[in-house]
């Protein structure tokens, strides 16, 4: 039985959250291991930003931009709320 669009988007957004957490973790590793002016840190950060942009582009091509924007706002709200409860 095919899933409806909301169920499919829920699954995609769960995967996006996992990818975003991985990208954040990699950014943290680069920040810890390299100083701010290091060329390898800069190259790594540029590549992670490009990867994030490409993931968002894929999301927007598979679902309406409005659906993606709404879900991304929900994710950002959840992250901000979690930071208040579990500060780093």
CA distance 66 to 55: 16
Which pLDDT tens digit goes with each residue over 3-62?
566 777 788 888 888 888 888 889 889 989 999 899 999 999 999 988 888 888 888 777
User: Is 55 within 8 Å of 72 (Cβ atoms)?
Assistant: no
What are residue 53's phi and psi, to 5 degrees?
-60, -40
Number of domain units in the chain: 1
User: Is 27 within 8 Å of 48 (Cβ atoms)?
Assistant: yes
Task: With CA atoms as reference, report the closest residue to 43 among 34, 52, 53.
Answer: 34
Whether this prediction's pTM lies above 0.85 is answered by no
Question: 50 lies in which domain range?
Answer: 5-85
């Amino acid at each position: 039985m095919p899933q409806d669009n909301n169920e499919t988007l829920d699954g995609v957004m769960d995967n996006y959250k996992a990818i975003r957490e991985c990208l954040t973790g990699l950014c943290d590793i680069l920040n810890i291991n390299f100083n701010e002016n290091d060329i390898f840190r800069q190259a790594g950060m540029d590549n992670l930003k490009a990867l994030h942009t490409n993931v968002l582009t894929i999301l927007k091509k598979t679902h309406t931009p409005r659906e993606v924007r709404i879900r991304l706002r929900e994710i950002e709200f959840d992250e901000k709320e979690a930071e208040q409860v579990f500060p780093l």
